[in-house]
């Protein structure tokens, strides 16, 4: 029995680099695809938004003097590269996959069309949403929250390299403790950083629960989908 029949999974681009600082690590990509394949075969409908930070990050480009709009557009294109790589890895494992991009690139991917994306999910295809929201100044976390609402996802899953949200950075502060549950307002007021605050506010306004968990631990995704308490849940007070 699945706890969440339809999910929107947000993954960072940096995760694809593995232990490196740049690019796509084949072994890491394969492990990611294996995890997603296992979850998909359980019957859950999966939409994915993936970042582009392993190739180019718009904020970093702007900080170095680039025009922010141009830098963000380059970042969006980086997410398209990552999406195509993930699509290839998933299809090699026998999964039907579609990439839809918020920036029209007709020769490489479908343009984002909400109703078409919904039909893909209903048919059991994994849909990877590329190019963020299609507009500058918005993070891929916010794009994931937007797509979660548009797809009527039961939850927004944020896959990270840590096992949830902490009171402080556990790498830098040995006294940091993990939240099992936290409300949207508490997250924003305490200025926590596991997910973009704009995305959290959007989810609060639309009552979309957010589950932050360690995607790198084998089997975590499927265990979470089946109802195990893994990571940190961000939700309304009644839910937490």
Residue 189, domain member (yes or no): yes
Residue 199, domain member (yes or no): yes
Tell me how many domains the chain contains: 1
pLDDT at 237: 82
- Match 């995305």 to its residue by tokens: 199
Residue 240, domain member (yes or no): no
The whole-angstrom separation of Cα 18 and Cα 182 is 29
Query: Closest Cα to residue 150, out of 235, 13, 49, 36?
Result: 49
Query: Closest Cα to residue 39, out of 239, 238, 218?
Result: 218
What's the number of CA atoms in the CB half-sphere (13 Å) around residue 94?
Answer: 4
The whole-angstrom separation of Cα 209 and Cα 197 is 14
Residue 209 neighbours by CB distance under 10 Å:
19
Tokens of 131: 């190019």
> Where residue 194 sits, what CATH number does that domain have?
3.40.1160.10
Residue 1, domain member (yes or no): no
Q: Give the residue numbers spanning the domain of 128.
A: 6-235
Q: Which ranges of the chain have pLDDT less than 50?
A: none
Residue 106, domain member (yes or no): yes
pLDDT at 239: 66
Residue 24, domain member (yes or no): yes
The whole-angstrom separation of Cα 140 and Cα 143 is 5
DSSP state of 130: E
pLDDT at 78: 96
Tokens of 214: 């360690």
Residue 224, domain member (yes or no): yes
Give the 3-state secondary structure percentages of the chain, helix then strand then coil, rounded to 5. Answer: 40, 20, 40
Secondary structure of residue 3 in the 3-state scheme: coil
pLDDT at 240: 60
Residue 99, domain member (yes or no): yes
């Amino acid at each position: 029995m699945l706890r969440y029949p339809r999910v929107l999974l947000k993954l960072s681009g940096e995760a694809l680099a593995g232990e490196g600082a740049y690019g796509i690590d084949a072994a890491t990509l394969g492990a990611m695809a294996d995890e997603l394949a296992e979850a998909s075969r359980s019957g859950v409908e999966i939409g994915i938004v993936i970042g582009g930070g392993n190739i180019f990050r718009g904020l970093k480009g702007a900080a170095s003097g680039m025009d922010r709009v141009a830098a963000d557009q380059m970042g969006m294109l980086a997410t398209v590269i990552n999406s195509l790589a993930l699509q290839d890895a998933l299809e090699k494992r026998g999964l039907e996959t579609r990439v839809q991009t918020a920036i029209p690139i007709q020769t490489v991917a479908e343009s984002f069309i909400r109703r078409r994306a919904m039909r893909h999910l209903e048919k059991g295809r994994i849909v990877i949403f590329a190019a963020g929201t299609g507009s500058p100044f918005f993070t891929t976390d916010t794009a994931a929250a937007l797509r979660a609402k548009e797809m009527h996802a039961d939850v927004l899953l944020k896959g990270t390299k840590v096992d949830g949200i902490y009171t402080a950075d556990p790498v830098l502060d040995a006294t940091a403790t993990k939240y099992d549950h936290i409300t949207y307002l508490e997250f924003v007021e305490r200025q926590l950083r596991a997910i973009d605050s704009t995305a959290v506010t959007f989810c609060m306004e639309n009552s979309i629960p957010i589950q932050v968990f360690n995607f790198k631990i084998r089997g975590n995704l499927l265990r979470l989908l089946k109802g195990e308490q893994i990571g940190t849940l961000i939700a309304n007070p009644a839910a937490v």
